[in-house]
Amino acid sequence: MSTTGELKTTSRMGRQPSTSHAELSHVALELFRVRGFDRTTVDDIVAAAGIGRRTFFRYFPSKNDLPWGDFETLLERMREHLASLPSDLPLVEALCASVIEFNRLPASEIPYHRERMELLLHVPSLLAHSTLRYASWRQVVAEFVADRLQVPEDSLEPQAIAWAFLAVSLSAYEQWLKTEDADLLELLAAAFRTLDSAFRLREHG
């Protein structure tokens, strides 16, 4: 509407934010590391970050969402990776490759990722809450499968396969956390092979 056609993102800015997702996340994760998730209250976090309690809940919808960094961006990357694969690559191969790609991280990030996943998989309230986040991950897989099989996204096949790949990924993660220095990508591949051979063994009854 303005004469210059300037974007809303640069004009008419109000008060500047006093913190950021990254900063809150950093402060909170440190507290979780030291005192544990359950024994760290939101009041502890906002005190450490020097903001008001009310402000915290404008940055994160819940305490449970803190350990989940920018998951949506990761999902978008995975969606693109799936779309970029040649269409003659078999479905399961494509999914295995993409899941592994999705979990590839620079070596420097691995210790932090380990700590985050340790929380997400071993703190009961986070484990439970994670289910809601995984739903969007499954949706990405289901969309791809539905497109490949030419069936609706919400039909049985895409949903079952999406669930199964999530399931296998989680079992690989659990193994990864169990032993220091384990290779996550290798474990993922092994988990896929397990499922593969389990079902193959079915034949010769």
Name which of a copy of itself, DNA, none residue 58 binds, using a CB cut-off of 5 to 8 Å depending on partner kind: DNA
Best CA proximity match to 32, nearest among 117, 131, 132, 134: 117
SS3 (DSSP) at 66: coil
Name which of a copy of itself, DNA, none residue 128 binds, using a CB cut-off of 5 to 8 Å depending on partner kind: a copy of itself
Residues that bind a copy of itself (CB under 8 A): 90-93, 124, 127-132, 154-157, 159-164, 166-168, 170-172, 174-175, 178, 187, 190-191, 194-196, 198-202, 204-205
Residues 89, 91: Cα–Cα separation, whole Å: 6
Site for DNA in 127-186 (CB under 7 A): none
Minimum distance of DNA from residue 53's CB (angstroms): 6
Q: Which is nearer to DNA, 28 or 188 (CB)?
A: 28
Total residues binding DNA (CB under 7 A)? 30
Name which of a copy of itself, DNA, none residue 90 binds, using a CB cut-off of 5 to 8 Å depending on partner kind: a copy of itself
Q: Which is nearer to DNA, 65 or 153 (CB)?
A: 65
Burial class of residue 31 (count of CB atoms within 10 Å of its CB; 0-12, 13-18, 19+): buried
In one-letter notation, the amino acid at residue 109 is E
Name which of a copy of itself, DNA, none residue 76 binds, using a CB cut-off of 5 to 8 Å depending on partner kind: none
Site for DNA in 22-61 (CB under 7 A): 40-43, 50-55, 57-59, 61
Residues 74, 80: Cα–Cα separation, whole Å: 10
Q: Which long-range contacts (CB under 8 A, 24 or more apart) does 191-196 make?
A: 192/92, 192/96, 192/99, 192/168, 194/168, 195/164, 195/168, 196/92
Q: Which is nearer to a copy of itself, 20 or 136 (CB)?
A: 136
